[in-house]
Structure 1
Amino acid sequence: MSNLDDFGGGQRPDDSVLVVTTNDVPGHRVERVIGEVFGLTVRSRHLGTQIGAGFKSMLGGELKGLTKTLVESRNQAMERLVEQTRSRGGNAVLMMRFDVTEAADLGTEICAYGTAAVIAPIG
């Protein structure tokens, strides 16, 4: 059995910045839009993982080493996104998205981006 965090990610329930992929948050109003924020990481390929993935791709199945690396990278990008939002006085990121691209054949660039805002409960 694997650790749940090895193959998934996302926000912790106790985080002071809410990150959503929607335009708004039900039950909350946007008091102030701060603007675009992003968290970025570039990861190089691990030779052992690449060799293992090459063999696995011939046989079929999930490339678990690469999956774990991508999860770690996305989580790091998210952490940086949240820190950027906090440092600008926000408590929410609206319309969060990920962008993943190859970085000059040396690795993978992962960017988490969205709109930093201050939100408050309605009522």
Structure 2
Amino acid sequence: MSNLDEFGGGQGQNAQVMVVTTNDVPGFRVDHVIGEVFGLTVRSRHVGSQIGASLKSLVGGELKGLTKTLVQSRNEAMERLVAQAQARGGNAVLMMRFDVSEAADVGTEVCAYGTAAVISPLT
């Protein structure tokens, strides 16, 4: 796994469901709007990473362990979002967003959400 994959995410070029943060996709038309879809994951904090993060906060700098965990969570939430869109017959998710919040003071909730749709290339 490259450093880029550890600290970032997103879809590959050959994805079966196109996920965009825009209302439309240049070169495509929206044939059918299916509706809202979301993918959700909740991750608990590892005690060791919490201790390490606490110590790191004393001197400043990036909390790489927590960054990797959040990247994994976002990627998992996005995979679930894509699976929901496919299950409902979509080949695209428009206006995709992430929402991150605390979950009962024991973990982090990451939700990827958007509008499932069927799109096709303009002719």
TM-score tier after normalising by the smaller chain length? over 0.9
1:101 aligns with 2:117: no
Match of 1:71 in 2: 71
Alpha-carbon distance in structure 2 between the residues aligned to 1:11 and 1:57:
32
Alpha-carbon distance in structure 2 between the residues aligned to 1:121 and 1:53:
47
Q: TM-score, normalised by structure 1?
A: 0.97
Aligned residue type for 1:42: V
Aligned residue type for 1:86: Q
Q: How does 1:1-123 map to 2 (within 5 A)?
A: 3-123=3-123
Show structure 2 runs of 5+ residues with no match.
Answer: none
Alpha-carbon distance in structure 2 between the residues aligned to 1:49 and 1:15:
33
Helix, strand or coil: the match of 1:117? strand
Helix, strand or coil: the match of 2:32? strand
> Size of the alignment, in residue pairs?
122
Alpha-carbon distance in structure 1 between the residues aligned to 2:14 and 2:29:
20
Aligned residue type for 1:111: C
Alpha-carbon distance in structure 1 between the residues aligned to 2:3 and 2:59:
25
Larger CA deviation: 5-14 vs 61-70 = 5-14
Alpha-carbon distance in structure 1 between the residues aligned to 2:116 and 2:40:
15
Alpha-carbon distance in structure 2 between the residues aligned to 1:121 and 1:51:
51
Q: TM-score, normalised by structure 2?
A: 0.97
Helix, strand or coil: the match of 2:23? coil
The Cα of 1:4 is off from its aligned counterpart by 1.5
The Cα of 1:3 is off from its aligned counterpart by 2.5
Q: 1:41-83 deviations in whole A, cap 9, x for unaligned?
A: 0000011111100000100100000000000000000000000
The Cα of 1:23 is off from its aligned counterpart by 0.2
